[in-house]
Homo-oligomer: A and B are copies of this chain.
């Protein structure tokens, strides 16, 4: 069987599965605990093992990404999957060149090591929105980021790390190396892979500082709160 034929069959099986399941509401037998645990376990991962991500996992992760809310059902997403080592190395070289150029001498070595870690994953997904869609502003400000967020959560469910990178791998780098036409607006790029290690949990604000009931009167402003940069 050809690769493209196999891919089509995989896609068809995913689509069929989700459509059938989607028609019925979640019954009381479903336990939301499994899902809720995944939210808290998603973390930014900055260095990866070279272990490959099976195509089957990748397709299910992308399938989850496209399930987000989308203005007028426009579904403006394109997921550009990059596994070609030459392309990854080209993005790495350009990004490290920028770090070397703009980071001050005393911080350069650490910054280069940190940034080099982003390029250790076996696969990258550039999350793009097509600005030819009916609601372009919504695609960029809502549909796009939500899809990227869903992608990362689904990847975590499979045990993979991700990183929602914007400045970490500059848009211009991906645009040039991957020849992304101007019609596509980049939301972010994320590595997907087995983490070199799971980083320690980052300190988080208390939920009670974020939830307000009925009114914002007396609600603590963010700038008044302890902040962990």
Residues of A within 8 A of B (CB): 7-8, 11, 14-15, 17-19, 21-28, 30-32, 34-44, 59-60, 62-64, 66-69, 71-84, 87, 130, 132-134, 138, 140-142, 145-146, 148-150, 152-154, 156-159, 164, 166, 178-181, 183-184, 187-188, 195, 198, 200-208, 210-217, 219, 221-223, 227-229
Contact = CB atoms under 8 A, between A and B. Distances in A.
A127 to B, nearest CB: 10
Contacts of A87: 214
A180 B216 contact: yes
Given A149-B69, A166-B142, A154 B79 contact: no
A201 B19 contact: yes
Q: Is the interface of A mostly helix, strand, loop or mixed?
A: mixed
A208 B36 contact: no
A164 B171 CA distance: 28
Contacts of A78: 210-212, 216, 219, 222
6 contacts: A42-B69, A75-B205, A81-B213, A130-B221, A132-B222, A134-B229
Contacts of A82: 214
